A and B are shown apart, each in its own frame.
Chain A
Amino acid sequence: MSRARGFVTTATAIALALSVTSCAESKRDSGSKQGRGGGTFAYATSDDPASLDPVFTQDMQSGLVAAQVFEGLTGVASGDVRAEPRLATGWTVGKDGLAYRFTLREGVTFHDGAPFDAEAVCFNFDRWYNLPRTAQSANFAYYYGYFFHGFATGPTADSALYKSCTAAGAHEAVIELKKPFAGLIDALTMPQFAMQSPKALKKYQDDGASNPNTTAYSTAHPVGTGPFTLESWDRGKEVVMERNDDYWGAKAKVDRLVFVSKPDSKERVAALRNGEVNGADSVSPTDVGTLDREGFRVETRRPFTLAFLGFNQKRKPLDDPRVRQAIAHAIDRKAVIGASFPKGTVEADQWLPKGMQGWAEDVPEYANDPEKSRRLLREAGAVGTSLELNYQSGGGSACLPAPADTLNILRKQIEAVGLKIKPVAIPSSEFSDRIYGTSDHDIEMSCWIGQVNLADSFIGLAFGFPSLEWGFDDPELYKDLAHAQTVPGRKEQNEVYAALSKRIMQILPGVPFASSPSSIGLDPEVSGFVASPISQEMFHTVSLG
């Protein structure tokens, strides 16, 4: 055979092999589902975790991994935001609201065999309080710094809430605070405050590292008490977990759990339809119908999010309340939601999602009224002003599923009353820097995802101190928000927050417009999956086939 013909033959053979492959591939999929279905649950997530040490993280993805590996003294009830006992079986609060006595679950051990006891609890609390300076910064122990008002050292030392932790017997720990904090039990449900193995922390963690998220502990050796243990984390690709056979509670039904990082929602859906994964997080609203028709299961998280427009009052004419009101009246929430949000989305009229602590019935309303908008703009002399509208480029998120569509309709509504809108897409890696770190922005379109049932986690975090994001200074408001945290008793605290929620809508730092549910696509053979409003699904109840 001549060489030339040889080449042609090889080429033909390859082409044939490729076409055979394609057929074989589709068969292989169904085969693999049955063959390996009981073993490994693969879940396409929207991001890679920032770190495996939850105390240094703020992102949902790190929280989701942590929720499988770790547990806190308290946890949220399945499918709810309510706090319930977890590693603590009960607690009592002193009359002054300063001392919390936790009774600990007995017979619990960490994955490395270390016992979970009062000493371990105190080790964790003391560790957080004593974190060194770099670890205290906003990209790391942000939530501890926020909820506990400071650390042992550094500029926040004087305001720190934490006083001490004492082991009163092996299974009883007493946490003492300097000021009351009625939200403590709820705060402790957060993955950031999960209990970690003192033994593993001592061996692998370096809290003083210039980036504590790159230590051996944070990248490879997280040790908790949860239903899964970490096997490996391949950055940007996947997190692999294995069942913890020594778990104190109901053991996981699958042997292995793999979170595959796929930032694009279309890609997650394609992988699910293709049989590459068994579940896909945050499926975009447009794909929900398709998945439904094709026989996939779609689970919905109750709305606990907030999409909003934020105004930078450092920029004229946004410092004029009439202009802010004009924009608020220009927005037709129903139309925005109808055009760009999934079924089940509710209109948001304040800076707290419905169902969160402090949500108020009677907030100042800004009903859709283009005529009034035009009048307000004329009065303010702002007709025809051009404003930039910044939003994060890239795919949608659980709280703003189709940002480009949302932006288009909002733009049309605002331009209809006489302002000019220039949309500016900013890559997600630069968005925070630009919005929180500079005054170089007019209006932002953004959203929050609730992580805990504390009003403070929304309005306190956003409006509790001067910020370049909003560009206004209101010391009275900061003082009152700080005071709200220390009101003893949940009921009294709820009322204080409701009043604050109304007040913030009067100030109108921006316009919240939608609270959306997010959807999860699942292979029809998956059972036991319970969607969590705060995206903290627990996978030990999930089984295949």
Chain B
Amino acid sequence: MLGFVVRRLLQLVPVLFGLSVLLFIWVRALPGDPARALLGRHATPEAVADVRARLGLDKSLPEQYVAHLKPLFSGDFGRSISDGRPVLESFFDKLPATLQLGAAALLIAVVVGIPLGYLAARHQGRWPDTLLVSGSLLGVVTPVFFVAILLRLVFADWLHWLPTGGQQDPRIDATHVTDFYVLDGILTREWDAAWDAFVHLILPAIALGTMAMAYIARITRASVIEVLGEDYVRTARSKGLSVMTVSRRHVLRNALLAVVTTVGLMAGMLLSGAVLTETVFNFTGIGHYLFEAISTRDYPVIEGFVLLIAVFYSLINLAVDVAYGVIDPRVRLS
């Protein structure tokens, strides 16, 4: 097991290296010169040259790449061109908001998706199944930002049930310990702050979780149907075990293996979806910050954030693979 984890971590190195090269080239291929963007119109060529030199943009691309790569090994991701803060600091500053949102979305996806998929499978071919199959297809194909805007329009702009955006009412002077706003409210016993943060989380979490939920429902349905056809299920039933017992012991346990894998892959989808959801709901997590960085050509932030997100995504998938071995003893991690 340990060997497996170490091997997987080592495999990450070439992947990240390749990604950093691609990112480096891609970001520099974006139109616009950061030095000129920084200085604005009527900037004298000398001033532009001066800033380019200070940002190291006057060197050749390979030289720039080496200069950019070296500090990475010591965990220095550079500083943002637009706000001057260390990239790593900003990332961890914004991470709790995104994690909180991602976790809430995943929770909705799992808690709603699995029972729905299971119900559909048990009623295969009848109306609940048809409804789920077509509904989940809609959920899978609808872009995250569309769901986000629609939810905001209906529940915030029209019905005024839920807030239009942000993480907490700006008028609440809440204490932040962990930067997980809901948790902070609970820890400090500022109940209205916790409640307010929770309420702000609902729409973004549903928007972000919808696609994942639809996927999970479909996968659950498919694998439950598959398991229901297995010989051991028929045997269990013929032994006289109740439907519930068979469902719990044999069907769900086996069907959930496929679902766990999906949940791992979902993490990537949730992270990319977070960029759009956070932008729509003005939710200041890493997605929102990355979006701003792309629009202002903030090279260090774009590169640093995408790399860190990649590391994060790989680690989640590794964790899923390890969990897989725990759930299913037949799977050897080798």
Contacts and interface: CB of A to CB of B under 8 A. Distances in A.
Interface string A420-456: 0000000101101100110000000000000000000
Contacts of A237: 166, 282, 284
Interface residues of A, number: 66
Contacts of B43: 137-139
Given A39-B171, A260-B170, A270 B164 contact: yes
Contact of A211 (B36, B84, B284): B84
B292 A26 contact: no
Contact of A236 (B171, B202, B284): B284
Interface string B262-306: 000000000000000000001010001100100110000000000
A159 interface: no
A433 B43 CA distance: 11
Given A138-B43, A211-B82, A276-B163, A429 B55 contact: no
B160 A273 contact: yes
B115 A432 contact: no
A47 B198 CA distance: 26
Contacts of B41: 138, 432, 436-437
Contacts of B194: none
A301 interface: no
Interface string A479-521: 0000000000000000000000000000000000000000000
Contact of B50 (A10, A23, A133, A238): A133
Contact of B252 (A4, A28, A274): A4
A274 B38 CA distance: 37
A137 B247 contact: no
Interface string A244-286: 0000000000001010111000110011011111000000000
Nearest to A3: B248
Counting contact residues on chain B (CB < 8 A from A), the size range is 35 or more
B171 A219 contact: no
B323 interface: no
Interface in A112-166: 133-134, 136-140, 142, 154-155
A142 B40 contact: yes
A81 B247 CA distance: 76
Given A21-B202, A36-B171, A267-B165, A137 B44 contact: yes
B54 interface: yes
Contact of B111 (A11, A133, A256, A465): A11
A174 interface: no
Nearest to A51: B83
B84 A266 contact: no
Contacts of B219: none
Interface in B9-56: 31-32, 36-44, 46-47, 50-51, 54-55
A367 interface: no
A214 B170 contact: no
Contacts of A270: 152, 156-157, 164
A325 B171 CA distance: 53
Interface string A1-43: 0111101101100100010011101101000100010011010
A236 B244 CA distance: 52
A11 B112 contact: yes
A36 B157 CA distance: 23
Interface in B300-329: none
A240 B176 CA distance: 15
B40 A139 contact: yes
Nearest to A427: B295
B161 A25 contact: yes
A213 B296 CA distance: 14
Contact of B169 (A5, A32, A427, A433): A32
A210 B111 contact: no
Given A14-B112, A137-B47, A2 B247 contact: yes
B42 A14 contact: no
Contacts of B192: 28, 32
Interface in B114-166: 114-116, 118-119, 152, 155-157, 159-166
B83 A133 contact: no
B173 interface: yes
B119 A8 contact: yes
Given A26-B161, A211-B81, A274-B160, A3 B247 contact: yes
Nearest to B54: A210
A234 interface: yes
Contacts of A22: 155, 159, 161-162
Contacts of B180: none
Contacts, number: 170
Contacts of B100: none
A225 interface: no
Interface centre among B42, B247, B252 (most CB of A within 10 A): B42
A235 interface: yes
A274 B119 contact: no
B248 A219 contact: no
Contacts of B202: 18, 21
A266 B248 contact: no
A236 B157 contact: no
Given A25-B162, A211-B84, A432 B171 contact: no
B248 to A, nearest CB: 5
A206 to B, nearest CB: 10
Given A11-B112, A28-B195, A429 B170 contact: no
A134 B202 CA distance: 45
A7 B248 contact: no
Contacts of A234: 284
Interface in A341-399: none
Nearest to A437: B41
B254 interface: no
Contact of B47 (A40, A133, A260): A133
Contacts of B195: 28
A41 B91 CA distance: 30
Contacts of A219: 83-85
Nearest to B118: A4
Given A214-B84, A235-B83, A256-B173, 16 more contacts: A2-B248, A4-B244, A7-B114, A8-B119, A14-B111, A21-B202, A28-B192, A133-B46, A134-B50, A137-B44, A139-B40, A214-B83, A236-B292, A276-B166, A430-B32, A433-B36
Interface of A: 2-5, 7-8, 10-11, 14, 18, 21-23, 25-26, 28, 32, 36, 39-40, 42, 133-134, 136-140, 142, 154-155, 209-211, 213-215, 219, 234-238, 240, 256, 258, 260-262, 266-267, 270-271, 273-277, 427, 429-430, 432-433, 436-437, 465
Interface of B: 31-32, 36-44, 46-47, 50-51, 54-55, 79-85, 108, 111-112, 114-116, 118-119, 152, 155-157, 159-166, 169-173, 192, 195-196, 198-199, 202, 244-245, 247-248, 252, 282, 284, 288-289, 292, 295-296
25 contacts: A2-B244, A3-B248, A7-B115, A8-B119, A11-B116, A25-B161, A25-B199, A36-B172, A40-B171, A133-B47, A134-B51, A138-B40, A138-B41, A213-B84, A214-B80, A219-B84, A219-B85, A260-B170, A262-B165, A266-B157, A270-B157, A430-B32, A432-B40, A432-B41, A436-B41
